[in-house]
Structures are given as structure tokens and as C-alpha cells.
Structure 1
């Protein structure tokens, strides 16, 4: 019997696409070496350094699915940014025979614009009935997870932890799990070791040689965070003893 999930099964660059691999964004190693990227039925994480291409690919997938560059639902079309890459034009997406009932594309950097538009049109019932600007950034994002996301959905999240305290990241992890239990699929670009701990997720590392699937314990996020917390006095001493500009207390140059 065929399973409905994953709603989004895989992504690749179309073999017949005319692509200049010396030009952005195709010059990014993770994009150039994309090959066939298959998604987990529940949660797939994109991890990597800033500039490694994870947000670029997530944006390309979202636009290829019909979302606005700013984010939101597919019924929401707001494009105030001019920095959209052309990647979505050459992507081939493999999808399930069954469409998700719900969907959302979250961009932390442009969520303010989405919230402003929601206030202007008065469409707040699905966000808990209150203005998103009347909440903290973290509260607004939790309103998405708890009120807006209805389940049986495909949700694309770009660095959601930017709005969340560690405690709220734990709450988000629980909310994501409840939505997964309700037949939802997530693709998340993140730097958060808390979110990355979600069990059985597929973690795709974006690096200088392309893409690689890694275990949670093998991510830099886990290793660096564990090392720092277990050895923070020594690590702080090493980091700060040679900090630029340090000099005798009270001295001025």
C-alpha cells in the first residue's frame, strides 16, 4: 500500500536545465553537487555554515512549490525582496500521489513583513485571534505552530530558532512532534542543536564538497555545544585571553 508521506519526496536540478555552474547560486558547492536529494517522511534538517546554501535551497524549493519569497501560505503572495535566486526555475520536485492538506513557508528574516500584512488585512483568527505584532517574536512563531499549522501538512522552516529561547525551542520540538504524529512533514534549515535532536530525522550537512547525511552526534552543532558546556571555563579563557584590543584595565589608546 502506498504511503501519503513524504508529500515532498525528492529534489534535483532538471537534467535538461541550462545552468551556469560558475554563477550564483549554482556555484555554491551544495547546489552544484545537489544530485538527487531525498527527504524523510517526517523531518529533514539542513545544516551548515552561513553561506553554505541551505537557505538558498529551501527558498528554491518553496518557490517551486508556489510560495511567496517572503513566506506564508501559498494563498499569501507578498514580494518586497528583490534578492530571490533563480534556483527554483530549474528544480524538479518529486511529490506524493496525495497532496498535503496544509502548508507554510517560514522565513525568520521576513516574518515581520508577513505579520504586518496579516494585521493590515485582519486575518488573525488562524494565528490565535491576536495581532502577531502584539506578541514577542518567539510568541508569534509559537502561534504559528500551535494555531496556524493544522496538520497533514508540508512545512518549510528557515532558521525558526532565531525567534526562540532554549525553553521555547523545546516547546517547538514538542509541537513539531505532535504535527508529525498528525501526518505532517517538515523540512527545516537550522543551527539549533535542540531542534536537531528530533529522533530519526534525516540531517543533511551542506559543506564545501556538497551534501552529506550525518547523525545528530556527528554534527558540529552537537559537538561544539557539548564541548563548550562541559568545558566552558577553559573554553572562555582560550577565547578571551587573546581577544583583539585587550590591554591593561582602564588603559586607552
Structure 2
């Protein structure tokens, strides 16, 4: 973070405590998760990383040059990335703008037909939300690449989240890929040996899987469902 440039900033995203207090985050693991409450800054930082990596912040890679309103990164100009080694390959996926990305792919297909070879053989719009996500993961991801994913679980059932974990594992182990994922999913967070960074408590810090609220609340609910519901519904 370029701290000297934000000393006088009083507007978003520097009103977010974790962003204002950000100095450095060292990401060394092949799979890293960002977790935290809504509005804690995890998607904001992920988007800024995508901006500095040269990916389309509306969703896509360096080669996807479509525009979507409000896709500008407010934080990207204030951070710097240090790479070891640097890669130009990769993809930024955000669930909220995936519809626009799918429309962009349809436009490219009309201009130069490929049979949707990288997307399961048909338009992403002709597949269910979950199917289109998995089609992208299975067919569109390359080797030696950085993948930045913002809440990929949004369209995935629990079973398909497990399938996605397998896809991540194969790309990491066989294709030399790296993932940084913002998520609320306790299933995805369970990926073995991943680093988890919490954006709660006003500073970004590493946290063990079992200490995340995602794990603790889900486990408590499953173990004590009736008591849990009684507590929150009969207050």
C-alpha cells in the first residue's frame, strides 16, 4: 500500500478500517482465501489486485476489453504488487458481473466463431448459473496463471463446490496455478493447507480454518440446529 498517498483520503474505500490500516500482505501460498463480513474490504482488495495485474476489473483476463459501469477499481492506484515470478496469464471472476462477461463471450463468438471451445461447447447464457461457472473453470483456465475469484460459491451447490475444490487442486498441482479467493463458503475454506486472511477486527491477519466464523457458525448450527433457531427466533 502506498501509505503516503492516502494520508488525506477520507472517502471510500479508505473509510474501510482494513483498507485504511493496510500496509502489506504477503501471499505465498498457492491457495489463499480472503474472509470477513460484508463490507470488510476483501472484495475491494481483490479487485485492486486484479487491476494491478492488468485483468479486466469487470471480470475477465487481459484479453477481455468490454466495459461495465462501476467496474473501476477505487483502490488499484494505491497499491503495488511484487511478483515472484510475474505472470501475464490469469483471470478475475466476480459473481456480480458474470452475466456481462457471458454476454461479452457471446459477442466474441459472433465475431469469430470457435464453437465456444473454452466454455463447454455452448453459450454461458444457455447453461444454468452453476453450469456456466463450472464450464469456465473446467475449460477456460490455463496453466501457469493467477486466478482471482470473488465469491465463486454464489452459483454452486454444496456438491459442485466440492467439484470446484477438485478443479482447484488439479490446477495447482498439475498446472502451476495460484488462486486468491474471497469467499463465505466453509466448504471452499476447507481446502487443505490454504492460507486464510481475515478482514475482520480492522486489520488483515491470518486465521486458522477452525477459528473462522464461517466454520464456527456452520458447525454450531449443524450440531445444535433446534437450539440455535430457538435462540435467534425467540429473542
TM-score calculated relative to the size of structure 1:
0.86
| Residues paired across the two proteins, number | 229
The match for 1:228 is 221
Larger Rg: 1
* C-alpha contact (below 8 Å) 1:69/1:79 kept by paired residues: no
Q: In structure 1, the residue corresponding to 2:105 is in which secondary structure?
A: helix
Q: In structure 2, the residue corresponding to 1:63 is in which secondary structure?
A: helix
How many Å separate the matches in 1 of 2:7 and 2:215? Answer: 36
How many Å separate the matches in 2 of 1:49 and 1:127? Answer: 32
**Relative to 1, partners in 2 of residues 1:116 and 1:143: Cα closer, same or farther, differing over 3 Å?**
same
**Relative to 1, partners in 2 of residues 1:233 and 1:15: Cα closer, same or farther, differing over 3 Å?**
closer
Unpaired stretches in structure 1, ≥5 consecutive residues: 1-12, 243-253
How many Å separate the matches in 2 of 1:83 and 1:130? Answer: 26
Instruction: Map 1:47-66 to 2 at 5 A.
Output: 47-66=35-54
* C-alpha contact (below 8 Å) 1:19/1:26 kept by paired residues: no
The match for 2:132 is 140
Unpaired stretches in structure 2, ≥5 consecutive residues: none
Instruction: Map 1:1-253 to 2 at 5 A.
Output: 13-82=1-70, 84-99=72-87, 102-122=89-109, 124-181=116-173, 182-242=175-235
How many Å separate the matches in 2 of 1:116 and 1:97? Answer: 33
> How many angstroms does 1:18 deviate by?
4.8
Q: In structure 2, the residue corresponding to 1:210 is in which secondary structure?
A: coil
What do residues 110-161 of structure 1 show as CA deviations (whole Å, max 9, x unaligned)?
0000001111221622112211011111111111111000222100000000
* C-alpha contact (below 8 Å) 1:52/1:208 kept by paired residues: no
Q: How large is the Cα RMSD of the aligned pairs?
A: 1.5
> How many angstroms does 1:106 deviate by?
0.2
Question: Which is strand-richer, 1 or 2?
Answer: 1
